[in-house]
């Protein structure tokens, strides 16, 4: 029998007066127990677990924590069996996902009853992974600007009665992290989106891009036209169009990420107009999101095993604990001089401010760079915007906040977690569900890049919930 960790977490939140950190730790401990002995719903499970050598080798405190988690899980199962199972959410919303990538945006759609019968993605590797995550979706892999691909998208969408189009065109030509090239051909991918909307005639449209989307002009029939003006000219006769600039931190996502959003509602009688939900009252910080996770040391590429353990005597112990939390909670690999610099850098600060342990080249010369690089994040705020290049200490705002770990023999303060965020931490910050079914053999480097391109799915869920609500 498989564990229902999402249900367990929800039950703990509703029935126990625990902090978020305690709830997360309890769920992680139950997951660890299941790894030692696969869960089965029988009272002898506890006894069998205690006979396992892997359990007996644990410290007394860890064994006690696992026993408590198992006891709570039995309590959750017993109450769940006496309560009626809520019916699965169903509605009549069927979405076409354009520029789907691997489906980050639609990660919660199944939970809220939205089907995605058709999706399109240009890059084959991404399309294949999308199909593994969403096997019920007809993925059309190919260039939407090619007639055969475009026609198949439209034909399949009409056949499957698609009534929502969600489009997240590539933004590199408009992004401040890109080249800001107004002549980038990718900026014109909004044109086939408009054509698809006109032919499929969905009830609703969700468009998302970077804020520069609103001030970017593209070539249309030899003339430069601002994208918002083009959307209004081509679609406003049939659609009510609402335009926004949002920050995902205002919607319980533990990450600052500004986006331009268009919500369109077909001008059909009695059709509910789609608008953004109200902002959430509380901001979710890095402390709320990942503050409960134990310390994790990086792997240092350019030192011996002996020197690694001199610098990080608990490296393997901490690595094992991390692996029990998530298969994606893996120590990042860095080089020694960068790690040493970050060990001497406090939370929220950049190593460029260190008097002695500042960023250095291999020859000892000082590195020149921006102050948002070699920089630790803050515990008290949401994360900075996750970029595609999120595995490097030397890239912008990528380093774990860290905590004061000890003071060395020279009186120097040494801070923990001298590393970039793990893939698991990035997934949490990106608001991806823990049960998102990513195949275990997926490349970590590939996933890191994809996450840096995506829109946080919790924000998308809240926008769609606002449409589905009464």
- Average pLDDT of the chain? 92
Name the pLDDT band for 449 (thresholds 50, 70, 90): very high
pTM of the predicted model, to two decimals? 0.81
Contact 240, 264 (CB under 8 A): yes
Q: Is 89 a domain residue?
A: no
Does residue 155 or residue 369 have the better pLDDT? 155
**CATH number for the domain harbouring residue 130:** 3.40.50.150
What gap in Å lies between CA 93 and CA 263, rounded to an integer? 15
The Cβ of residue 195 has, within 10 Å, a number of other Cβ atoms equal to 14
Q: What is the DSSP letter of 355?
A: S
Number of structural domains found in the chain:
3
* Paired residues of 375 in beta bridges: 350
Mean pLDDT of 53-63: 86
H helical segments located in 293-380: 305-311, 315-325, 336-343
Choosing from 82, 116, 136, the residue where a domain stops is: 82
Choosing from 54, 82, 110, the residue where a domain stops is: 82
Q: Is 426 a domain residue?
A: no
Name the pLDDT band for 85 (thresholds 50, 70, 90): very low
| Same domain assignment for residues 317 and 339 | yes
Tokens 């990080």, located at residue:
312
| Domain with 403 in it | 294-328+331-421
Contact 390, 452 (CB under 8 A): yes
| Same domain assignment for residues 351 and 260 | no
Name the pLDDT band for 46 (thresholds 50, 70, 90): confident
Task: Write down the pLDDT at residue 59.
Answer: 86
**Catalytic residue check, 171:** yes
| Same domain assignment for residues 347 and 389 | yes
| Same domain assignment for residues 172 and 234 | yes
Task: Write down the pLDDT at residue 314.
Answer: 97
Asked if the model's pLDDT at residue 269 lies above 80, the reply is no
| Same domain assignment for residues 13 and 104 | no
Which residue from 177, 222, 164, 219 is spatially nearest to 395, judged by alpha carbons? 177
> 60, 141, 171, 349: which is the annotated catalytic residue?
171
Q: Is 176 a domain residue?
A: yes
Mean pLDDT of 272-301: 96
């Amino acid at each position: 029998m498989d564990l229902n960790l999402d249900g367990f977490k929800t039950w703990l939140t509703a029935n126990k007066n625990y902090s978020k950190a305690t709830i997360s730790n309890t769920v992680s401990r139950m997951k660890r127990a299941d790894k030692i002995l696969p869960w089965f719903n029988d009272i002898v499970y506890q006894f069998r677990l205690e006979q396992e050598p892997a359990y007996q080798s644990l410290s007394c405190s860890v064994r006690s924590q696992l026993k408590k988690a198992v006891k709570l899980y039995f309590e959750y199962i017993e109450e769940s069996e006496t309560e009626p199972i809520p019916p699965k959410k169903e509605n009549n919303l069927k979405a076409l996902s354009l520029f789907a990538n691997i489906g980050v945006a639609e990660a919660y759609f199944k939970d809220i009853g939205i089907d995605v019968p058709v999706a399109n993605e240009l890059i084959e590797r991404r399309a294949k992974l999308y199909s593994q995550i969403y096997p019920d979706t007809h993925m059309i892999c190919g260039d939407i600007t090619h007639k055969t691909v475009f026609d198949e998208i439209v034909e399949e969408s009409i056949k499957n009665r698609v009534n929502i189009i969600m489009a997240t065109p590539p933004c590199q030509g408009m992004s401040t992290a890109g080249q800001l090239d107004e002549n980038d051909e990718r900026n014109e991918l909004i044109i086939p989106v408009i054509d698809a909307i006109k032919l499929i005639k969905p009830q609703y449209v969700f468009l998302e891009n970077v804020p520069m989307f609103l001030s970017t002009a593209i070539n249309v029939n030899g003339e430069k036209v601002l994208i918002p003006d083009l959307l209004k000219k081509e679609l406003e006769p049939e659609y009510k169009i609402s335009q926004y600039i949002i920050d995902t931190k205002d919607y319980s996502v533990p990450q600052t990420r500004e986006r331009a959003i268009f919500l369109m509602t077909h001008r059909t009688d009695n059709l509910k107009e789609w608008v953004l939900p109200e902002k959430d009252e509380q901001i979710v910080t890095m402390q709320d999101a990942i503050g409960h996770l134990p310390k994790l040391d990086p792997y240092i590429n350019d030192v011996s095993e002996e020197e690694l353990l001199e610098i990080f005597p608990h490296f393997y112990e901490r690595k094992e604990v991390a692996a029990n939390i998530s298969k994606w909670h893996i120590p990042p690999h860095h080089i020694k001089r960068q790690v040493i610099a970050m060990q001497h850098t406090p939370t929220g600060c950049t190593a460029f401010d260190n008097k002695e342990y500042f960023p250095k080249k291999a020859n000892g010369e000082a590195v020149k760079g921006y102050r948002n690089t070699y920089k630790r994040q803050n515990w008290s705020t949401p994360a900075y915007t996750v970029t595609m290049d999120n595995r490097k200490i030397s890239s912008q705002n990528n380093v774990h906040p860290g905590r004061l770990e000890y003071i060395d023999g020279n009186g120097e303060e040494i801070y923990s977690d001298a590393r970039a965020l793990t893939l698991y931490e990035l997934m949490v910050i990106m608001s991806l569900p823990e049960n998102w079914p990513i195949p275990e053999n997926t490349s970590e480097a590939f996933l890191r890049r994809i996450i840096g391109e995506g829109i946080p799915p919790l924000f998308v869920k809240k926008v769609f919930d606002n449409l589905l609500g009464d």
